[in-house]
Amino acid sequence: EIVLTQSPGTLSLSPGERATLSCRASQSVSSSYLAWYQQKPGQAPRLLIYGASSRATGIPDRFSGSGSGTDFTLTISRLEPEDFAVYYCQQYGSSSWTFGQGTKVEIK
Amino acid sequence: EVQLVESGGGLVQPGGSLRLSCAASGFTFSSYWMSWVRQAPGKGLEWVANIKQDGSEKYYVDSVKGRFTISRDNAKNSLYLQMNSLRAEDTAVYYCAREKRDPYSQGAHYMDVWGKGTTVTVSS
Protein backbone atom coordinates (compact mmCIF):
# COMPACT_ATOMS: atom_id res chain seq x y z
CA GLU A 1 0.00 0.00 0.00
CA ILE A 2 1.28 3.43 -0.92
CA VAL A 3 1.48 5.83 2.03
CA LEU A 4 1.13 9.56 1.45
CA THR A 5 2.85 11.88 3.92
CA GLN A 6 1.85 15.53 3.91
CA SER A 7 3.92 18.35 5.32
CA PRO A 8 3.78 20.52 7.21
CA GLY A 9 0.97 19.42 9.48
CA THR A 10 -0.05 23.03 10.01
CA LEU A 11 0.84 26.12 8.02
CA SER A 12 0.27 29.50 9.68
CA LEU A 13 0.11 32.28 7.13
CA SER A 14 -1.52 35.64 6.54
CA PRO A 15 -3.95 36.51 3.75
CA GLY A 16 -2.04 37.45 0.63
CA GLU A 17 0.86 35.15 1.40
CA ARG A 18 1.91 32.14 -0.65
CA ALA A 19 1.22 28.63 0.64
CA THR A 20 3.26 25.61 -0.39
CA LEU A 21 1.97 22.20 0.68
CA SER A 22 3.90 18.99 0.16
CA CYS A 23 2.72 15.43 -0.42
CA ARG A 24 5.31 12.67 -0.50
CA ALA A 25 4.50 9.10 -1.54
CA SER A 26 6.22 5.98 -0.20
CA GLN A 27 6.44 4.66 -3.79
CA SER A 28 6.17 6.26 -7.18
CA VAL A 29 2.64 7.40 -8.06
CA SER A 30 1.30 7.99 -11.52
CA SER A 31 0.65 11.71 -11.90
CA SER A 32 -2.70 10.82 -13.43
CA TYR A 33 -3.75 9.33 -10.12
CA LEU A 34 -2.79 12.18 -7.77
CA ALA A 35 -5.46 14.64 -6.62
CA TRP A 36 -5.84 17.39 -4.04
CA TYR A 37 -8.94 18.28 -2.00
CA GLN A 38 -9.93 21.15 0.25
CA GLN A 39 -12.11 20.61 3.30
CA LYS A 40 -13.64 23.25 5.54
CA PRO A 41 -15.13 22.49 8.98
CA GLY A 42 -18.46 20.69 8.75
CA GLN A 43 -18.25 20.37 4.99
CA ALA A 44 -17.49 17.60 2.53
CA PRO A 45 -14.16 17.62 0.71
CA ARG A 46 -14.00 19.57 -2.54
CA LEU A 47 -11.85 18.55 -5.49
CA LEU A 48 -9.21 21.14 -6.33
CA ILE A 49 -6.60 19.46 -8.51
CA TYR A 50 -6.57 16.19 -10.45
CA GLY A 51 -3.89 14.57 -12.55
CA ALA A 52 -1.36 16.29 -10.26
CA SER A 53 -1.71 19.64 -12.06
CA SER A 54 -5.16 20.11 -13.63
CA ARG A 55 -7.56 22.44 -11.87
CA ALA A 56 -11.08 21.16 -11.33
CA THR A 57 -14.03 23.09 -12.69
CA GLY A 58 -14.53 26.42 -10.95
CA ILE A 59 -11.26 26.37 -9.03
CA PRO A 60 -9.47 29.74 -9.07
CA ASP A 61 -6.11 29.93 -10.81
CA ARG A 62 -4.34 30.88 -7.59
CA PHE A 63 -4.41 27.10 -6.91
CA SER A 64 -1.81 25.08 -8.77
CA GLY A 65 -0.42 21.58 -8.51
CA SER A 66 2.89 20.16 -9.60
CA GLY A 67 5.20 17.22 -9.12
CA SER A 68 5.80 13.69 -10.24
CA GLY A 69 7.02 10.35 -8.98
CA THR A 70 7.01 10.57 -5.20
CA ASP A 71 6.92 14.34 -4.64
CA PHE A 72 3.91 16.51 -5.28
CA THR A 73 3.11 20.10 -4.34
CA LEU A 74 -0.03 22.19 -4.01
CA THR A 75 0.61 25.92 -4.20
CA ILE A 76 -1.81 28.71 -3.35
CA SER A 77 -0.25 31.81 -4.83
CA ARG A 78 -2.01 34.42 -2.70
CA LEU A 79 -4.17 33.26 0.19
CA GLU A 80 -7.71 34.55 0.30
CA PRO A 81 -9.74 34.42 3.53
CA GLU A 82 -11.80 31.51 2.17
CA ASP A 83 -8.67 29.41 1.55
CA PHE A 84 -8.01 28.72 5.22
CA ALA A 85 -8.94 25.06 5.48
CA VAL A 86 -7.49 21.54 5.54
CA TYR A 87 -5.97 20.14 2.35
CA TYR A 88 -5.59 16.47 1.49
CA CYS A 89 -3.69 14.72 -1.24
CA GLN A 90 -5.02 11.42 -2.56
CA GLN A 91 -3.73 8.69 -4.81
CA TYR A 92 -5.27 5.74 -6.62
CA GLY A 93 -3.40 2.48 -7.02
CA SER A 94 -3.88 -1.29 -6.84
CA SER A 95 -7.67 -0.90 -6.95
CA SER A 96 -7.72 1.24 -3.83
CA TRP A 97 -7.40 4.84 -2.73
CA THR A 98 -5.29 6.43 -0.03
CA PHE A 99 -5.24 9.92 1.42
CA GLY A 100 -2.53 11.90 3.11
CA GLN A 101 -3.15 12.92 6.71
CA GLY A 102 -3.87 16.52 5.72
CA THR A 103 -2.29 19.95 6.06
CA LYS A 104 -4.18 22.63 7.93
CA VAL A 105 -3.69 26.15 6.59
CA GLU A 106 -4.56 28.55 9.39
CA ILE A 107 -4.60 32.29 9.76
CA LYS A 108 -1.49 33.66 11.40
CA GLU B 1 -27.82 19.65 -10.41
CA VAL B 2 -25.42 16.82 -9.73
CA GLN B 3 -26.06 15.63 -6.19
CA LEU B 4 -25.35 12.83 -3.73
CA VAL B 5 -27.38 12.54 -0.54
CA GLU B 6 -26.45 10.06 2.18
CA SER B 7 -28.80 8.69 4.80
CA GLY B 8 -29.05 5.90 7.34
CA GLY B 9 -26.54 6.99 9.93
CA GLY B 10 -27.21 6.89 13.63
CA LEU B 11 -26.21 5.51 17.00
CA VAL B 12 -25.58 1.78 17.17
CA GLN B 13 -24.10 -0.50 19.82
CA PRO B 14 -20.82 -2.31 19.27
CA GLY B 15 -21.46 -5.49 17.33
CA GLY B 16 -24.54 -4.02 15.72
CA SER B 17 -25.42 -3.34 12.09
CA LEU B 18 -26.38 -0.35 10.02
CA ARG B 19 -27.15 0.20 6.35
CA LEU B 20 -26.18 3.45 4.73
CA SER B 21 -27.76 4.72 1.52
CA CYS B 22 -26.66 7.30 -1.00
CA ALA B 23 -29.16 8.73 -3.48
CA ALA B 24 -27.68 10.09 -6.70
CA SER B 25 -29.29 12.61 -9.02
CA GLY B 26 -28.38 14.88 -11.90
CA PHE B 27 -26.08 12.42 -13.67
CA THR B 28 -26.08 8.94 -15.19
CA PHE B 29 -25.38 6.96 -12.03
CA SER B 30 -24.83 3.68 -13.86
CA SER B 31 -21.85 5.14 -15.73
CA TYR B 32 -19.65 5.70 -12.70
CA TRP B 33 -17.63 3.82 -10.14
CA MET B 34 -18.75 4.92 -6.68
CA SER B 35 -16.94 5.05 -3.35
CA TRP B 36 -17.57 5.38 0.36
CA VAL B 37 -15.09 7.52 2.30
CA ARG B 38 -15.20 8.08 6.05
CA GLN B 39 -13.78 10.59 8.51
CA ALA B 40 -13.49 9.84 12.21
CA PRO B 41 -14.02 12.78 14.56
CA GLY B 42 -11.09 15.19 14.29
CA LYS B 43 -9.25 12.86 11.90
CA GLY B 44 -8.43 12.68 8.21
CA LEU B 45 -10.17 11.02 5.30
CA GLU B 46 -10.13 7.25 4.85
CA TRP B 47 -11.39 5.44 1.77
CA VAL B 48 -13.65 2.54 2.75
CA ALA B 49 -14.90 0.77 -0.37
CA ASN B 50 -15.80 1.17 -4.01
CA ILE B 51 -17.87 -0.54 -6.65
CA LYS B 52 -17.79 -0.73 -10.42
CA GLN B 53 -20.58 0.55 -12.60
CA ASP B 54 -22.31 -2.82 -12.93
CA GLY B 55 -21.43 -4.06 -9.45
CA SER B 56 -19.11 -6.75 -10.79
CA GLU B 57 -16.04 -5.46 -8.93
CA LYS B 58 -15.87 -4.32 -5.33
CA TYR B 59 -12.86 -3.36 -3.23
CA TYR B 60 -12.46 -2.63 0.47
CA VAL B 61 -9.93 -1.21 2.87
CA ASP B 62 -8.48 -4.03 4.96
CA SER B 63 -10.04 -2.82 8.22
CA VAL B 64 -13.61 -3.42 6.97
CA LYS B 65 -13.16 -6.56 4.87
CA GLY B 66 -15.59 -9.26 5.90
CA ARG B 67 -17.73 -6.78 7.88
CA PHE B 68 -18.89 -4.20 5.34
CA THR B 69 -20.55 -4.81 1.98
CA ILE B 70 -20.92 -2.21 -0.74
CA SER B 71 -23.72 -2.55 -3.28
CA ARG B 72 -25.70 -0.49 -5.74
CA ASP B 73 -29.07 -0.42 -7.49
CA ASN B 74 -28.72 1.40 -10.79
CA ALA B 75 -32.48 1.32 -11.37
CA LYS B 76 -32.90 3.35 -8.17
CA ASN B 77 -29.76 5.48 -8.63
CA SER B 78 -28.63 4.37 -5.22
CA LEU B 79 -25.46 3.23 -3.49
CA TYR B 80 -25.43 1.27 -0.24
CA LEU B 81 -23.05 0.27 2.52
CA GLN B 82 -24.11 -2.59 4.77
CA MET B 83 -22.06 -2.41 7.96
CA ASN B 84 -22.03 -5.39 10.31
CA SER B 85 -20.07 -6.19 13.46
CA LEU B 86 -19.56 -2.50 14.06
CA ARG B 87 -16.76 -1.32 16.31
CA ALA B 88 -16.09 1.91 18.14
CA GLU B 89 -13.39 2.71 15.59
CA ASP B 90 -16.02 2.74 12.82
CA THR B 91 -17.46 5.91 14.33
CA ALA B 92 -17.20 8.53 11.60
CA VAL B 93 -18.95 10.68 9.06
CA TYR B 94 -19.48 8.53 5.98
CA TYR B 95 -19.41 10.22 2.58
CA CYS B 96 -20.34 8.76 -0.75
CA ALA B 97 -18.35 10.03 -3.68
CA ARG B 98 -18.42 9.70 -7.43
CA GLU B 99 -15.24 8.45 -9.03
CA LYS B 100 -14.17 10.03 -12.27
CA ARG B 101 -11.93 7.96 -14.50
CA ASP B 102 -11.22 10.48 -17.18
CA PRO B 103 -10.08 9.10 -20.54
CA TYR B 104 -9.61 12.67 -21.81
CA SER B 105 -7.13 13.60 -19.07
CA GLN B 106 -4.61 10.82 -19.52
CA GLY B 107 -6.80 8.47 -17.57
CA ALA B 108 -6.86 10.65 -14.46
CA HIS B 109 -8.68 9.13 -11.48
CA TYR B 110 -10.27 11.34 -8.85
CA MET B 111 -13.46 11.88 -6.82
CA ASP B 112 -15.30 14.83 -8.27
CA VAL B 113 -18.69 14.78 -6.52
CA TRP B 114 -19.25 14.25 -2.80
CA GLY B 115 -22.30 14.05 -0.60
CA LYS B 116 -22.58 15.95 2.67
CA GLY B 117 -22.17 12.81 4.72
CA THR B 118 -24.07 10.83 7.32
CA THR B 119 -22.83 10.29 10.87
CA VAL B 120 -22.35 6.84 12.35
CA THR B 121 -21.68 6.53 16.07
CA VAL B 122 -20.81 3.16 17.56
CA SER B 123 -21.16 3.28 21.31
CA SER B 124 -22.82 1.47 24.18
pLDDT exceeds 80 at position B62: yes
User: CA-CA distance, B17 to B95, in Å (whole number)?
Assistant: 18
Give the ranges where chain B is alpha helix by DSSP (H): none
pLDDT at B106: 77
User: CA-CA distance, A18 to B62, in Å (whole number)?
Assistant: 38
User: CA-CA distance, B77 to B99, in Å (whole number)?
Assistant: 15
Q: Tens digit of pLDDT for each residue in B67-120?
A: 999 999 999 999 999 999 999 999 999 999 999 988 777 778 899 999 999 999
Assess contact for B62 and A96: CB atoms under 8 A: no
pLDDT at A9: 97
Q: CB of A48 within 8 Å of any CB in chain B?
A: no
pLDDT in tens, chain A (108 residues): 899 999 999 999 999 999 999 999 999 999 989 999 999 999 999 999 999 999 999 999 999 999 999 999 999 999 999 999 999 999 998 889 999 999 999 999
Of A100, A3, A13, A44, whose CA–CA distance to B4 is shortest?
A44
pLDDT at B82: 98
pLDDT exceeds 90 at position B38: yes
The mean predicted confidence, pLDDT, of chain B is 96
Assess contact for A108 and A101: CB atoms under 8 A: no
Q: Which of B109, B113, B116 to mutate to test the interface with A (most CBs of A within 10 A)?
A: B109
Contacts 24+ apart (CB under 8 A), A65-68: A65/A34, A65/A36, A67/A23, A67/A31, A67/A34, A68/A31
pLDDT at B108: 84
User: CA-CA distance, B23 to B5, in Å (whole number)?
Assistant: 5
- B49, β-bridge pairs: B36, B60
Q: CB of B45 within 8 Å of any CB in chain A?
A: yes
Phi, psi of B29 (to 5 degrees): -55, -40
pLDDT at B103: 77
User: CA-CA distance, A42 to A10, in Å (whole number)?
Assistant: 19
Q: CB of B114 within 8 Å of any CB in chain A?
A: yes
Assess contact for A23 and A5: CB atoms under 8 A: yes
